Amino acid sequence: MMPGLMITPSLPHPPRLPNARSRAALLRRIEAMAVRGRECHWSLMPPEVSRRLGAGVARFGDAFATRLTRSHALRSNRVIGFGHRGGASQATLDAIVGWYRDAGVRRFSLLLGPGPQAARIGGWLEARGFRHHEGYVMLLRPPAPAPRARRGTLRVRRASRAEAGKVVDLYGGIFGYPPSHRAWMIASAVGSGQEHYLARIGATTVGAGTIRIERDLAWLGGGATLPRWRKRGAHAALIVARLRRAARAGCRWVWVETSAPVPGHPDGSRRNLLSLGFAEVARTLVFVRELR
């Protein structure tokens, strides 16, 4: 078990980020990693869950599309990666719209990342009746140097495979995953190559965070704390534990996406990440298409 952590929020020397040319290539790698991760997650859906939810997946060029015909959730009916390799076309976009319409899906979302065709694709989307719907901020930093820490009462440790259900239930209680997805989430937590970390205060598990490593890149997901235990350092401690894991694995970069700031909405996750040395490198726009 790792010692308790109290995080010093500022870094004496902010980590150096890649220059503009290197950043563009890195962002393409990151988006490709996101596509592979989502493909893996959906491939692990148990057959009985797939039948019950009316699941479907498809590749459209460099984009990956997912749908649940028995759900109106935009997170499930979603396209990612469109144009990140520079090969998107209007014909492909029309085929995506048709794939959802033919299945009877009422609406779906498309995440438009900072790829080489982003501006052009934005025009195609607007011409086809897509509307802008908030978005995400992509944050980046090298794993080292990790923020300083001193001993405290909060402890973070890596979860075992047997604790996958505990991780999933904690995320479900915070993010609101429907109970019908639980078996799928557990299968993904165990089988997708992710690692999970648990934060405890005394005997109580108060938060969890996930990391997935591909060669020299690491992605952070989850990072959730139960509401009554927030503002006690659990979120920051989970970030630091995963930064150290990425450093031990030899990663060059750690990336994470969090909701773009919206007036009147909580913004603690982004603020914590920025205070721990992450920097904003891109924005992912969410577009929604209603189908009638």
- Asked whether residue 101 is assigned to any structural domain, the reply reads yes
186 lies in some domain: yes
pLDDT at 20: 79
| pLDDT tens string 73-103 | 999 999 999 999 998 999 999 999 999 999 9
Does 244 fall in a domain? yes
Q: Are 168 and 62 in a shared domain? A: no
- Quick: pLDDT tens for 147-176: 776 557 799 999 999 999 999 999 998 888
Instruction: Give tens-digit pLDDT for 96-122.
Output: 999 999 999 999 999 999 999 999 999
Segment 23-46, tens digit of pLDDT: 999 999 999 999 999 999 999 999
| H-helix or E-strand spanning residue 92 | helix 90-102
Residue 273 lies inside a defined structural domain of this protein: yes
Starting from the edge strand earliest in sequence, which strands make up the sheet with 63-68, in order?
55-60, 63-68, 78-80, 107-112, 279-290, 131-141, 253-259, 217-225, 204-214, 195-201, 154-158
| End position of a domain, from candidates 75, 103, 135 | 135
**Local confidence band at 216 (pLDDT 50, 70, 90 cut-offs):** very high
Domain check: are 11 and 150 in the same one? Answer: yes
User: Does the residue 202 lie in any domain?
Assistant: yes
Q: 36 in a domain, yes or no?
A: yes
Last residue of a domain, one of 89, 106, 135: 135
- Whether residues 269 and 150 share a domain: the answer is yes
H or E stretch at 243? helix 234-248
* pLDDT value, residue 170: 93
Claim to verify: residue 120 and residue 162 sit in the same structural domain: no
- Report pLDDT for 168: 94
Are 122 and 168 in a shared domain? no
Q: What is the pLDDT of residue 14?
A: 60
Q: Are 152 and 270 within one domain? A: yes
pLDDT, residue 266, reads 67
- Total of domains in the chain: 2
Specify whether 108 is located in the same domain as 162.
no
Kindly report, residue by residue over 178-208, the tens digit of the pLDDT: 888 999 999 999 999 999 999 999 899 999 9
Are residue 53 and residue 107 in the same domain, yes or no? yes
Same domain, 100 and 206: no
In what helix (H) or strand (E) does residue 200 lie, and over which residues does it extend?
strand 195-201
- pLDDT for 6-27, tens place per residue? 444 445 456 678 887 889 999 9
pLDDT at 128: 97
The CATH number of the domain holding residue 169 is 3.40.630.30
Q: Which of 135, 166, 185 is the endpoint of a domain?
A: 135
pLDDT score recorded for residue 149: 60
Structural domain span for residue 78: 20-135
pLDDT for 173: 87
